[in-house]
Amino acid sequence: MSAPLLSVENLVKQYDTGGGEPLTVLRDLDLSVQEGEIVAVVGESGTGKSTLLHLLGALDRPTAGTIQFKGTDLFAKSDDELAAFRNRSIGFVFQFHHLLPEFTALENVAMPALIQHQSVADVASRARDLLDLLGLADRADHRPSTLSGGEKQRVAIARALMNEPALVLMDEPTGNLDARTAKPMHREIERLSQDIDQTFVLATHDPSLAGIAKRILRLELGQLHSLDPGDEMAPADQVPGDGETSAS
C-alpha cells in the first residue's frame, strides 16, 4: 500500500475550562487516509467531529500529537504557512453553504483561485467546468438567492474543488437538506471520488451519506473506532470491542 495522504498519531485536543481540569475532546487519536478514499466519521453530537475536521484542515492546532500531510508535519509550519497550505491543499464544505450573496455561482466557485491571483480567464474556465461537472452549467450566472438548497451545496462543493485540493473535508454537508435533495449529493461525492480520485473525510449523522464511504469510523470518548459494514450507524454501546482501536 502506498504512503497515506494523511497520517494522524496520538492526537490530543484539550480546552481550558477556566479552572480545574481541562476539557479533553480528542485523546491519543490515530488515523490514516489514503489518496482517493472516502472516510466517514460518525458519532453523537458533541463528541468532537467538527474539532477533528478543524485540526485535519489546519484551522486549529492540537494540544499534542502530530498530523502529517504527504509526509510533512503540518504544525511545524507557521500560521502564515498554514494559511497558504489550506488555500492550496484543503477544500472545506460545511452544513451551511456560506456562499457570498452578492456574487453569482460562478464567482463564488472562482473565489479561492482569485485569492491566489490566478489568471482570471483560467479561473473562469475552470469554475465553469466544475459547475458543469456538478450539473449546474445553466446556473453559473445565478445568485445564491435564486438557487435551491441542493444547488447551493453543489456550488459549495465546486468551490471546495476549485484549487484542486488533495483533501476535501465535509462537516455535515447534507445536514441542512431533506432526504430527497441529499440523495443526489451523495451520488456526486461518490462519483468525484471515482472519477477524479478525490479524497474526502466527512463528518455526518446521515446513514445514507456514511454508506458511500470506504471506511466508517465512530468517534467516541475522544478516539476513533472502526465499524463493521453492517453496523455503520450503530449506537455507541453497540460498537464492537471496548478497547482503544486504531483507525488506520
What is the Cβ-side half-sphere exposure of residue 116, based on CA atoms within 13 angstroms? 17
Residues 230, 203, 188, 142, CA torsion sign: positive
Query: What's the pLDDT tens digit per position in 199-218?
Result: 999 999 888 899 999 999 99
C-alpha cell at 80: 502564515
Residue ranges of domains in the chain: 6-238
Query: What's the pLDDT tens digit per position in 36-73?
Result: 999 999 998 889 999 999 999 999 999 999 999 999 99
- Report the predicted TM-score, pTM, of the whole model to 2 decimal places: 0.83
Query: What's the pLDDT tens digit per position in 76-113?
Result: 999 999 999 998 899 998 877 789 999 999 999 999 89
- The pLDDT value recorded for residue 230 is 56
Give, as one character, the DSSP assignment of residue 91: E
Query: 226 with 245: CB under 8 angstroms?
Result: yes
Q: How many CB atoms lie within 10 A of CB 45?
A: 8
Q: Over the chain, what is the mean pLDDT? A: 87
- The pLDDT value recorded for residue 245 is 39
Longest CA–CA separation in the chain, Å: 57
Q: How many CB atoms lie within 10 A of CB 67?
A: 20
Q: How many CB atoms lie within 10 A of CB 132?
A: 13
Query: What's the pLDDT tens digit per position in 129-145?
Result: 999 888 899 999 999 99
199-203 vs 167-171, strand pairing mode: parallel
Report the run of H or E that residue 224 belongs to, with start and end.
strand 223-226
Quick check: helix, strand or coil at residue 71?
coil
**Encoded amino acid at 89, one letter:** S
The CATH number given to 6-238 is 3.40.50.300
Give, as one character, the DSSP assignment of residue 179: H
